[in-house]
Every structure is written in structure tokens, then in C-alpha cells.
Chains A and B, each alone.
Chain A
Amino acid sequence: MVVIKLAFLTLVLAGFFGLFVFGPFYTHVELQLGVLFIVGMGSVWRTSGRETWRLIKFCLPFILTLLGFGILFHATHFLGREDWLQDSLIKVLIFPSSLIFLKLLLTFVTYLDILRLPIATARRVDLITFKAALSKGGRIMERFKWYLDTYQELTGQRTRGWVLRKYACLIIALYLYLYEEIENSRLVMENRMYILSQRTDRAP
């Protein structure tokens, strides 16, 4: 059953990318806007408005840069092309909707699904640890950013170098956190599996 479920989710994902990202509806701006809206609503329903907004905020720097270059290239008729604005608009819509859609689909994959997968136990442990780390990492990022904004070393100036330092700190902090969390989660899980195997061996 779980294999069918995961196969179905993979098909839905492939269908989404096949139709809207690489497929026939790629150039339809109005449709892409609708897709973003529907995917956003789906995310609000499955997670929360706050989580959805957090994802959109995560995309904002990329989106704004893309839009900025689109407007600039369009105004200067860069490389003789007249479709810069249309092209940037499509990408600005597709990027967040793909990300939110992927996150949305992942919410349908539960720990129980992974446990029931017909794969080796070691691979199952890897998948569970990976899912736990992803989920914890997402939540902790905001708090890390908040703390970094209180450090005088990173808030003295708003130069590019300072911003890069802050993001370097964020990545290192996240790496250290995930490293320890993964190790801890793995230890807990291995311990539980060990106890379970001991009990199973003792059972009549």
C-alpha cells in the first residue's frame, strides 16, 4: 500500500513539473499565477499561513533579484529580446510554487510510510533521520536568524561583506545543529531498535 502511495505522489510531482515547469503551460502567466495561489492555499491548509509565508519569504531575495534583472533587461532591450519581463514573471511565479508544492507533497509522507517501506532497515533509518533533520532544520532557522541579528559583530554595517558573514554564520550554525541532531536522533533510534530486538529474541 505504501509503495502505491509513494508511487502516486511521485507521479503527481512528475505531472506538476511536466505540465507547469517544463511542459505546455510554462508560458501561461495567468495560469501560473493561479497555480501559485492554489498551491499556496494548499500549503496553508496542510501546514499553516505562517509556514507558507516563511517559504515565500525564503524565496523573496531570489524573486526580487530575478524581477529586477527582468525589468532592467526589458528596459534596455538586452540582446535584442523583447520578452524579458514576461520570462522573468513566469520564473518568479514558478520558483515559489514549485518549492511550496514539493513541501506540500512531502507533508503526505509520514514516518509510518517510511517504516513500512520494503527496504533494508539501515536505509529506513537513513530516511527517517533525513526527514527528522529537514523538519527540525526548517523550524530552527528563524530562531538562528533572530539570534544572529542581536550580535553586534554582524549588525554594525549593512555592507555586502557583513551580509555574507551573517549568512555564513547561519549556514555553519545550521550545519552544526543538524550534525548533532542527526547523531542524537540516530542514537535514540538505534537504542530503541536494539531494545526491540532484545524483546523479540526473548519472546516465546
Chain B
Amino acid sequence: MRILEGTYPLKDRRLSLTVSQNLEFGETPTWLHLTGVNGLGKTSFIEKILIPALKDQKVPFLYLGQDFRTQLYTLKALLAVSGKDGVRNNIPGLLSQWVHQNHHARVFILDEFDKYPDHTRHIFKISRDFIRTYVAVSHLDKPMQPGAPFDARTLEFREISGEGPLLQVGIEESTPW
């Protein structure tokens, strides 16, 4: 998984994200924490830069979005179409079925998913054997981590300048949290 350094203007979100150095993940098990105040484009970074890059690089990934309650309808539908009993299952059961049928995935993106701590623990438990990189947005004082052997790395989002039509945001790796 590689994100090249450079500036990524996201006009529809009124943001311009500047990645200060090439970001490479996947060699060692990593838990990558995206941090920064609200409105600086962490979700936009995931949805407009990271996921398209993963698709281009053909890296299989799983994504649980910030609006998980909305996404849940699509997961239920997906499992129903796959012949699984997803509609009637409870959430942990549904997540297990979905994760198990994606055991080839190498990246798991969790956008503020630790607002459901039990589900997050469950996700780590059932996916840590095959996932190489977790990418997580979290606003908890102590974000939930998968633990060893995953190295914690932090990607910090900082406002550079609010001038001009786009909010300028810098993204750089900081010392591990």
C-alpha cells in the first residue's frame, strides 16, 4: 500500500490535502492512526485518496465507514445475495460472516468504528491473522489497537492555512502515539 507525496485538491470537500512524504505500509504489521481535529479531511483522505489508491494497486481491503448504521444495510444485502443469513443475524455474527469471506484482505480501514468498542474488539480478533495494516480514525483519548505484533504509527492532519477557497491541510507522520 503506497500513497505518494504531493498535494491532493478535493474541491467538492473544499479541502486541499498535502502528503509530505511517500507513505508505504504492508511490510510489517501496522496499526495506522489518523489523527487531527474534526473537519480536516480524515474521512475524505480515506474515501478520496486511500481507497482509490488501494483499488489502483489491487490491494484487497475492508472498510467500515463512519456511518456504519447506513453501511449495515449494504452489508446485510451483500450477505443475503451471497447466500448467507445476514439479514437476521446480529451485528457480530454479520461482521464475522463478512470478514471470513474476505480473508484475502490485507488492509482494514475503521473510520471512528471504536465508538462500538465490543464490535471493534471482535473485528481485531477475527481479522488479525490475515490483516497486515489497520487504518483507524479515532477520537477516543486512548484509541483501541489490535496490539502486538502491530506497530503503532500516527498520521497527523494539521491545518496549514485557511486562505483561499480550499482549506490547506498538511498530513505527516508523527512519532508513534
Contacts and interface: CB of A to CB of B under 8 A. Distances in A.
Given A140-B70, A143-B70, A165 B81 contact: yes
Interface string B89-122: 0000000000001101100000000000000000
A134 B156 CA distance: 40
Contact of A154 (B62, B71, B78): B78
Contact of B101 (A146, A153, A165, A170): A153
Interface string A167-204: 01111111011000000000000000000000000000
B105 A168 contact: no
A172 B87 CA distance: 10
A22 interface: no
Contacts of A125: none
Contacts of B71: 147
A168 B74 CA distance: 10
Interface residues of A, number: 22
A152 B82 CA distance: 12
Interface string B35-56: 0000000000001000100010
B74 A152 contact: no
Contacts, number: 55
Given A152-B60, A173-B73, A176-B76, A147 B81 contact: no
B74 A148 contact: yes
Given A140-B70, A143-B70, A150 B77 contact: no
A114 to B, nearest CB: 27
Contacts of B67: 143
Contacts of B105: 152
Given A143-B67, A152-B102, A177 B73 contact: yes
Given A152-B102, A177-B73, 19 more contacts: A143-B70, A147-B63, A147-B71, A150-B61, A151-B78, A152-B60, A153-B78, A153-B82, A153-B101, A153-B102, A168-B81, A169-B81, A172-B80, A173-B73, A173-B77, A176-B73, A176-B76, A176-B77, A177-B70
